[in-house]
């Protein structure tokens, strides 16, 4: 497993760009693109690709395009287009007027296919998909020529035209490149360029019933847009000869070059659109933006910031071999970001009532508290304190184990920003035996500004005032998958990942109490709940009840891993 931070400091793609600048290839132009297929929501792996492509363009004074590779209408949808646009913008990128759709090039692509036929470099083949697969051979076995590969140019032109006109059924014919059925590279064994698919396209409607295949469409899309460096993931390495073949066969000038890098895999999650779609469609999550999903929409709803995601993508680096990054490194990046910018507040997730017996019942004090000790400009706020408070259930223990420095009978703790209190007793629920409330006394001299303020006690607890606190629901998340290695799914053969789903990936606490300063906070706002982690206001919040998602807990296992590695 890759422990996150990349050791390599030079990005090999930047080196290629440096070289191209030196030789004045492309006259010094640098132009990259991000080409998603609109068949699902973007995930953190796509974020990696976006940051890499767009980041390289920016660093090198070049341009970048957002392009929808919408060549397969059967799986694509405008919902996905809209979500992708929203997500890329949110990540912080602006493609200006350079938003493109592969479907805008269908006519040009068709014309180029006609040129290939005229040059005897493509033919219409009537073999069934099954036969094509069989004829292709394998690594050890050369392929067999299709009996249709000797069709005349005229016959091919006629059949291809009729394919476009809708005369033939889906799957009955394809247009294939005529390359080399004995090539050691299977992709070069007369690959399919066009197929018949009578599906309505989300942009071109029913205008087309033949659609170009990725390997044919992609190099042309890059060429039309004057892309210089066509960066993609490693699984396309074996397709590069075909990428080049298409452009060379058409005698096109100033060819873009395809460069491959290792895709991002993360532990404890899945990262293919197909699997993510399955989670959504079969109801394992509430939607593409479920805060447990590794989608951009999910991470945003969870409370991740674009800065943290960009930082993560930068720090994991660019590699030429596949690896799996520990998801805890992503969590470390958001923690680092929120530590400096999230205001601190107090929230009690599992409330236990506490009565301060010697505190006047009708008194309310405003306790002053720093909003963020890491940020001197964040200011201060006042938090009401009164006789009846709530503390965290786990912060009281009737019979404390060793090293338990919180509240227990006869013990003292400090209440954050307030007084030192001493536990004098507790009351049980007679039926259940559960502890119902804790009784304490407070030391009036222990408040900030008073002589006893400096008095030391071992524990400090957060609290809310019963009369003033707001009700809230808090959703705690854990990893989607139990298995760390499932992230390597792209390299491994399919296991049933559904069996690996973490049954405890979501815990909902409905009776939480938060300090009153949080009244009316906007959806998407992020806070540190002291001692509990970082939280983000969920869109499910209503005017009666706030809903918070836990982004991450405070404990940074990543820091521990780094320290252990150093020792
Ligand atoms: P998935 O395999 O997750 O379904 P995809 O590759 O089919 O994704 P595309 O929409 O074709 O999705 O991807 C758009 C771009 O994002 C491609 O250039 C692809 O190489 C890149 N990309 C996809 N997944 C990752 C990843 N995990 N890490 C880095 N780049 C990725
Ligand atoms: Mg793809």
Question: Which domains does the chain carry?
Answer: 102-217 (3.90.800.10), 347-462 (2.40.240.10)
Q: What is the pLDDT of residue 563?
A: 72
Ligand 1 close to Cβ of residue 323 (< 6 A): no
Which atom from ligand 1 is nearest to the alpha carbon of 272?
3
Residue 178 Cβ contacting ligand 1 at under 6 Å:
no
**Count of other CB atoms within 10 angstroms of residue 282:** 9
5, 37, 237, 336: the catalytic one is 37
Q: Is 121 a catalytic residue?
A: no
Position 494 scores a pLDDT of: 58
**Higher-confidence position of 57 and 563:** 57
Active-site annotation holder among 273, 406, 411, 532: 273
Helix (H) or strand (E) holding 59: helix 44-59
Residue 92 has pLDDT above 80, yes or no: yes
Q: Does the annotation mark 161 as catalytic?
A: no
pLDDT band at 449 (very low <50, low <70, confident <90, very high): confident
Q: Residue 486 catalytic?
A: no
pLDDT of residue 452: 87
pLDDT of residue 564: 73
* Model pLDDT for residues 415-437, shown as the tens digit of each residue: 999 999 999 999 999 999 999 99
Checking if the pLDDT of 561 tops 90, the result is no
- Please give the average per-residue pLDDT across 242-267, as a whole number: 96
Q: What percent of the chain is predicted at pLDDT more than 70?
A: 95
Q: Provide CB contacts within 8 A for 478, sequence distance 6+.
A: 502, 504, 505, 506, 507
Q: Is the CB of 36 under 6 A from ligand 1?
A: yes
Q: Cα(47) to centroid of ligand 1, in Å? A: 9
DSSP-assigned letters across all residues of 136-161: H--SSS-----TTTT--HHHHHHHHH
Kindly give the pairing relationship between strand 344-345 and strand 526-529.
parallel
| Gap between the Cα atoms of 303 and 523, Å rounded | 10
Region 233-242: mean pLDDT is 97
C-beta neighbour count of 120 within 10 angstroms:
13
Q: How far is CA 131 from CA 136, 141, 152, 172, 551, in A?
A: 8, 15, 21, 11, 51
Please give the pLDDT value at position 332. Answer: 96
pLDDT, position 284: 97
Closest CA to 352 of 420, 442, 434, 471: 434
Question: What average pLDDT does range 519-528 have in this prediction?
Answer: 97
- Looking at every residue in the chain, the average pLDDT score rounds to 94
The verdict on the CB of residue 37 being under 6 Å from ligand 1 is yes
- Which pLDDT belongs to residue 491? 44
- Distance of CA 128 from the midpoint of ligand 2 (Å): 24
- The Å distance, Cα 39 to ligand 2 centre, comes to 9
Q: Identify whether the C-beta of residue 70 lies closer than 8 Å to the C-beta of residue 36.
A: no
Distance CA 526, CA 511 (A): 20
Mean pLDDT of the 173-185 span: 97
As beta bridge partners, residue 529 has 345, 533
pLDDT for 345-357, tens place per residue? 999 999 999 999 9
CA 101 to ligand 2 center in whole angstroms: 15
Of the pLDDT bands very low, low, confident and very high (cuts 50, 70, 90), residue 1 is low
Task: Note the pTM of the prediction, 2 decimals.
Answer: 0.94
pLDDT recorded at residue 508: 98
Angle between helices 306-316 and 44-59 (to 10 degrees): 80
- Residue 221 has a pLDDT of 98
């Amino acid at each position: 497993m890759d422990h996150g931070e990349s050791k390599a400091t030079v990005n090999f793609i930047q080196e290629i760009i440096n070289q191209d600048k030196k030789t004045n290839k492309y006259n010094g132009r640098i132009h990259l693109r991000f080409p998603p297929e609109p068949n699902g929501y973007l995930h953190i792996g796509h974020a990696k690709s976006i940051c890499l492509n767009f980041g390289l363009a920016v660093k090198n004074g070049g341009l970048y395009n957002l392009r929808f590779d919408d060549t397969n209408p059967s799986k694509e949808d405008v919902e996905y287009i809209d979500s992708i646009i929203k997500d890329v913008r949110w990540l912080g990128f602006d493609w200006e007027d350079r938003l493109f759709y592969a479907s805008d090039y269908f006519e040009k692509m068709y014309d180029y296919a006609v040129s290939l036929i005229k040059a005897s470099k493509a033919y219409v083949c009537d073999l069934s998909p099954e036969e094509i697969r069989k004829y292709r051979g394998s690594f050890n076995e050369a392929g067999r020529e299709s009996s249709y590969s000797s069709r005349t140019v005229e016959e091919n032109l006629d059949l291809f035209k009729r394919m476009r006109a809708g005369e033939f059924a889906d799957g009955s014919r394809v247009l294939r490149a005529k390359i080399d059925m004995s090539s050691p590279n299977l992709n070069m064994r007369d690959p399919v360029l066009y197929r018949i698919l009578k599906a309505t396209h989300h942009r071109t409607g029913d205008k087309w019933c033949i659609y170009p295949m990725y390997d044919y469409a992609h190099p042309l899309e890059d060429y039309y847009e004057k892309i210089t460096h066509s960066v993609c993931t490693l699984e396309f390495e074996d397709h590069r000869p075909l990428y080049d073949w298409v452009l060379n066969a058409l005698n096109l000038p100033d060819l873009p070059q395809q460069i491959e890098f290792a895709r991002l895999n993360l532990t404890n999650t899945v990262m293919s659109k197909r699997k993510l779609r399955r989670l959504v469609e079969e109801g394992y999550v509430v939607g593409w933006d479920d805060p447990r999903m590794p989608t951009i929409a999910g991470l945003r709803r969870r409370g991740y910031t674009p800065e943290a995601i960009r930082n993560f993508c930068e720090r994991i680096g660019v590699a030429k071999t596949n690896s799996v990054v520990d998801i805890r490194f992503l969590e470390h990046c958001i923690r680092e970001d929120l530590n400096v910018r999230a205001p601190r507040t107090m929230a009690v997730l599992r409330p236990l009532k506490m009565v301060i017996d010697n505190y006047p019942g009708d008194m309310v004090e405003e306790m002053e508290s720093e909003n963020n000790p890491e940020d001197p400009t964040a200011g201060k706020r006042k938090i009401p304190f009164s006789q009846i408070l709530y503390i965290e259930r786990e912060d009281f223990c009737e019979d404390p184990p060793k090293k338990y420095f919180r509240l227990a009978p006869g013990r003292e703790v400090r209440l954050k920003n307030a007084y030192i209190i001493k536990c004098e007793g507790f009351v049980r629920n007679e039926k259940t035996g559960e502890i119902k409330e804790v009784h304490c006394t407070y030391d009036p001299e222990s408040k900030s500004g008073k002589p006893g303020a400096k008095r030391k006690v071992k524990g400090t607890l957060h609290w809310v005032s019963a009369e003033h606190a707001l009700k809230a629901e808090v959703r705690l998340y854990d990893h989607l998958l139990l298995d760390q290695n499932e992230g390597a799914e792209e390299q491994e053969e399919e296991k049933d990942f559904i069996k690996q789903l973490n049954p405890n990936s979501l815990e909902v606490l409905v009776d939480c109490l938060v300090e009153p300063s949080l009244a009316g906070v906007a959806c998407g706002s992020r806070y540190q709940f002291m001692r509990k982690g970082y939280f983000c206001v969920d869109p499910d919040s209503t005017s009666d009840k706030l809903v918070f998602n836990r982004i991450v807990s405070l404990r940074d296992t990543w820091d521990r891993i780094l320290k252990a590695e150093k020792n």
